[in-house]
Structure formats: structure tokens, C-alpha cells
Amino acid sequence: ETGVTQTPRHLVMGMTNKKSLKCEQHLGHNAMYWYKQSAKKPLELMFVYSLEERVENNSVPSRFSPECPNSSHLFLHLHTLQPEDSALYLCASSQDRTGGFRTDTQYFGPGTRLTVL
Amino acid sequence: KNQVEQSPQSLIILEGKNCTLQCNYTVSPFSNLRWYKQDTGRGPVSLTIMTFSENTKSNGRYTATLDADTKQSSLHITASQLSDSASYICVVTLMNTGFQKLVFGTGTRLLVSP
């Protein structure tokens, strides 16, 4: 777990709260990702920062706001969440290269278990 | 639509027994297929990776196979141990020149019983 770390590991918040999830990668990678993992559903890609380009998933509500101040740190700012946002939020990183045949492995953090009351 | 389907959803086996997990995918264009292991409360960890030209790949007691023609993959676990209890997720990477786009299956939850 020392490759990609996430804090906090568990978070309980009310619908009117504002909180932030933090992710840090110690692998020297240049791409970072936020995923949402709900029970019995596939991992859902939320946001990508790759080669300093931000790629958004248009289906993610605006109450989720990512921030990537540098290639090692990634944040997910949360505000006015809904109970259905309760899930495991996973951060991942990889070493991406422009073009070519891609076999880069994504390394995942342990996740933040979020509960919205 | 790009999809990855896994079966069974869950499986219970006795310690020391073998098992095989299945993955069918409809992802195009295909780049590679990975099997990840996710322990409870942890993030997924990559077990194997196969490109379209590879039929099989082993990692200790884990052996993955790939049939690119039928778009099927399997993960065989030999001589199971209690520590193999986890979710196993099949993941297919789309071939593109932008960021990595992965298509995830819902996983097979394996319980190895003593």
C-alpha cells in the first residue's frame, strides 16, 4: 500500500457537509485516476489526469470536484452529497505514454469508504 | 457497448481445491486483459496481463487464459489457500492513444473455506 496512499480510509458525512479525499502516489507516475466502486457494480471511472490533461466523465455530478496540484497528489472535493454517493472511492496511478501500444498497469490505493447520511 | 461479464458472481470452495473463474468481453478495440485481485477493504492488485497475441499467463498458483477469437478469458487458481478469498476482477483495456480507458467486470467473489 505504500505505492498509492489514500486518506481518510473511512468518512461519514451529512448531505450538507464539505469534505475532501486525498490521494498520493509515490511511484513517479504521470497519470492519476478517481474511481467509484458501488456494491455489485463495476468500477466507474470518474476523473483522469493524464500527462497533465484533465479528462472528465460527463456523467459525474458537479458535487464532485477533482484537483490535481502536481503529478503526485490528487484530491476529490465533495459537497452537498446524496446518500446514493455512498461507496468506496479508489484512486489509481499509472505511467502513461503518448500513443503506441499501452500495457501500463494502474496501481490502486486502498480506497476511502464514504457513507453519506 | 463495451462490456465485461464475469461468472460466477460468487463461489465457495474448500481449501486445497482448484477453481476457474470466467470472463466474457465485448470491448473494441482491444488492447489487453488483466485480472485483478481485490481483498476486502483494499484496492485491486494486478495479477496477470495478456495482450491479444498471448494465450496464457501464469503468476504462481494463478493461471490466466485468453481466447481473443471468442473474447473469453479464464483465471484458474490451483491448490487454493485461505488467503485467496477475495474478489477477482476482469479488466479489459481499450486501445487508444489518449489516457488508459479500462472496462471493468463486476467481479467474482471467492471464499476459500477451511
In this predicted model, what pLDDT tens digit does every residue of B82-110 receive, in sequence order?
Answer: 999 999 999 998 876 666 788 999 999 99
Mean pLDDT, residues B5-20: 97
Please say whether the beta carbons of A25 and A32 come within 8 A. Answer: yes
Distance from CA of B33 to the nearest CA of A (A): 9
C-alpha–C-alpha distance, residues B89 and B36, integer Å: 5
Instruction: Flag if B100 and A104 touch (Cβ within 8 Å).
Output: yes
- The DSSP secondary structure of A53-72, one letter per residue, reads EEEE-TTS-TTEEEEEEETT
What confidence score (pLDDT) does residue A54 get? 79
Q: List all residues 6 or more positions away from B80 whose beta carbon is below 8 Å from its beta carbon.
A: B13, B14, B15, B16, B17, B18, B19, B61, B112
Other C-beta atoms closer than 10 Å to the C-beta of A5 total 15
Instruction: Flag if A31 and B4 touch (Cβ within 8 Å).
Output: no
Other C-beta atoms closer than 10 Å to the C-beta of A71 total 16
In this predicted model, what pLDDT tens digit does every residue of B36-79 receive, in sequence order?
Answer: 999 988 899 999 999 888 999 999 999 999 999 999 999 999 99
Instruction: Flag if B89 and A48 touch (Cβ within 8 Å).
Output: no
Q: What are the grid coordinates assigned to B107, written together?
A: 467481479
Below-50 pLDDT ranges, chain A: 1, 100-101
